[in-house]
Amino acid sequence: PIMLYDEKTAGEMAKRMTDKGVYVVAFSYPVVAKGKARIRTQVSASHTIEDIDYIVKCFKEVKEEMGL
């Protein structure tokens, strides 16, 4: 998981990642404890090195865009 701790931040990051074509899911209370909001990712054997590189690039971009 990508721990963000804040529900609003996790939701916004998930939306921005989806806008870039990367499917991630934000989890927050009551699915996880209050103050433990996170992004969950799932990698499979069908992902290529290029896919993983793109996903990491998108996380870095979104982190910067959001000032995190």
- pLDDT attached to residue 12: 98
pLDDT band at 26 (very low <50, low <70, confident <90, very high): very high
Which string of DSSP letters, residue by residue, matches 1-68?
-EEEE-HHHHHHHHHHHHHTT---EEE-TTTS-TT-EEEE----TT--HHHHHHHHHHHHHHHHHTT-
Range 55-62 average pLDDT? 97
> pTM score, two decimals?
0.88
Mean pLDDT for the chain overall:
96
pLDDT band at 23 (very low <50, low <70, confident <90, very high): very high
- Pairwise CA distance, residues 11 & 26, whole Å: 6
